[in-house]
Amino acid sequence: MVKFAVVVFPGTNCDFETERAIRKAGGEAERVWYKTSLKDFDGVVLPGGFSYADYLRAGAIAARQEIMEEVKEFAREGRPVLGICNGFQVLTESELLPGALRPNRVPRFICRWVHLRVVDTETPFTQFYEPGEVIRMPIAHAEGNYYTDDPSKVRVVFQYSDEKGNITEEANPNGSIMNIAAVANERGNVLGTMPHPERASDRFLGSEDGLRLFRSMVEWARR
């Protein structure tokens, strides 16, 4: 059985839901305090929340904690590393993913469901999606405006879209360049997503589209 560490920083608040989603997807998961070793795990998830109260910048302080050196080693070894919302911010601050998450175009917290078009199905996290498929997940962030100097060099995984998959300005909730909602590293084993798959992992929550991301991650790690 593959086992994932769900890293908890001061201010993390999506760890229980993430742990549950991984277990529902067929893997083992354990919430791990950020001062704990990751040596017994097959993959790492940095869940959402407000680590260190988003002091300085969202994810900036968490990115400089000692545990992130182990997370970087996981990435170098090709093991799966997933960052959700605040976890995505930590990954960009750690330079494990390119670009940065800036304050939303309209400077306020956004919490609502969005449609996403699946762009890349060749990552450990997206093998159970179809190219161009439209899925639904919720967002909940104040700094989700993704920016990079050279989007042509970014491995885009999800884009904000309308319900038909059209990439439009109206479908962009936060001002992200090219409507980017999720990106991966060049190798594909590190994924950052602003939408929350753990909050779309049960039909009673309104969608199970996010559960396929966790199932893909678990199956990939198992192989």
The set of catalytic residues is 85, 196, 198
Distance CA 109, CA 117 (A): 23
- Compute how many other C-beta atoms are within 10 angstroms of the C-beta atom of residue 13: 13
Contact indicator for 171, 161 with CB cutoff of 8 Å: yes
DSSP string spanning 197-218? GGGGSBGGGTB-TTHHHHHHHH
| Residue in this structure with the two tokens 């900036």, named with its chain if needed | 60
Q: Identify the bridge partners of residue 114 per DSSP, sorted by sequence position.
A: 137
Q: How many CA atoms lie within 13 A of 204 on its CB side?
A: 0
DSSP string spanning 36-74? S--TT-SEEEE--B-GGGG-SSTTTTGGGSTHHHHHHHH
For the CA atoms of the chain, what is the radius of gyration? 16
DSSP state, 178? G
